[in-house]
Amino acid sequence: MADDIETSFHAAIDAGKINGAVICATDTKGHFVYNKALGTRTLLSGKEVPQRLDDVLYLASGTKLITSIAALQCVEAGLLSLTGDLASVAPDIAAKQVITGFSDNGEDPLLEPATRPITLEMLLTHTSGITYDFTNPHVATWLQKFNPPEKSSLRPVEEAFNYPLGFQPGTSWMYGTGLDWAGKVVELVTGRTLGENVQQSICDPLGITDTQFYPVTREDLRPRLVDLNPQDPDAFGRAVVGGSAEVNRRVQGDYGGQGLFMPAVDYVKILHSLLANDGKLLKPSTVDDMFQNHLNQEASAGYQAALNSPMGNFFRVGIDLETKTGHGLGGVVTLQDVDGWYGEGTMSWGGGLSLAWFIDRKNDLCGIGAIQPALPDFHGEILDALKQTFRRDIYRKHAAWKEQQ
């Protein structure tokens, strides 16, 4: 597959592997701007229309960065501490025990108390021990036995993710629902829903009006909702997460790890605010801290093990194993320069299997690439290649633009 955005993405569209994509990138001063909508989307009626820059996209785990900002705003306001015990704020988190396995008969979980308190920093860096069920087999088994999802039941975060820790807090790293819990903590200390916090404290300062947590009910947004189509009539966001409807089917309330819908042209405004460190969302010192590696020695060892695991390709978000990385307060951070690409201190992550974003303060560039997979078939390898084309080619385009200045 060609390694430039236009050729490779159009080839995938023509081959029916994806429906379209929206790509937005910019620098600090807004002099370099790359905004591109490619392909088509299908309306609920079955009619195909051109993809537009202001189409409303399912962010999936792209929500996590925004929830991180909301939580850090609470720290700045004195409502939370980054490293303090969350027990007084969220006793449901403090009550969690660590699962180490099951009895010989496979029926009884082996549980031990947590040896240290869970902190907000742990929630934001996936070091709290709160994993996803698909990243920890003991947790998956416990859920099936003691807290199985009911298809007809809508559940808030504290019920849906009511299961033991996968490891002792602060002693390892594993991707999980910590940001969903962080969103719940934000609600508890502010007395507002996470959606209200995001709109008032993040979107309003940046002039963003077209965002909503699942379910998207606003009549002005639904006509532009990419994930409202014959393959996904309930707008669960199935295409973004590989065809599954489970991620949003039973949610009640605002899930800070997965639930937000927003146009890419608005998401890049948030990336740009952090890139420019303009003070609109957070104090400059807080933004600087976001881009530092927050993993201790124990957690770093667990993080490296995860990068080398069968799921490591997902956790590396396009960065090769030879490049030193850590985890900041919002995403993976590079700990060294990558020649011709990410500078040291670049933060990146994604959403589902088809969205990627990055903020490179050293090279003055940020961007989001949101691919719209074609269902019912799902082509994961092609999506990985397209995300990497976006990540790499946008740097070539930026370099070519600078040469012309």
Q: How far apart are CA 150 and CA 251, in angstroms?
A: 11
What token pair was written down for 104? 């010989």
**Active site annotation includes 342:** no
Q: How far apart are CA 371 and CA 189, in angstroms?
A: 36
Centroid of chain to Cα 174: 14
**Active site annotation includes 61:** yes
Residue by residue, DSSP assigns 166-227 as SS-TTS-----SHHHHHHHHHHHHHSS-HHHHHIIIIIHHHT----EESS---TTTGGGBTT
**Active site annotation includes 36:** no
Which residues, at least 6 apart from 339, have a Cβ–Cβ distance to it below 8 Å?
none
What token pair was written down for 195? 């959606």
Element housing 209 (H / E): none
Centroid of chain to Cα 385: 19
Which residues, at least 6 apart from 187, have a Cβ–Cβ distance to it below 8 Å?
193, 194, 197, 254
Cα–Cα distance list, 243 to 249, 313, 380 (Å): 13, 20, 11
Strand partners, 57: 262
Tell me which of 34, 58, 64, 348 is the catalytic residue: 64
Tell me which of 34, 175, 267, 395 is the catalytic residue: 175
The backbone torsions φ and ψ at residue 283, rounded to the nearest 5 degrees and listed phi first, read -65, 145
Which residues, at least 6 apart from 320, have a Cβ–Cβ distance to it below 8 Å?
none
Helices (H), 15-78: 63-76
* Catalytic (active-site) positions: 61, 64, 175
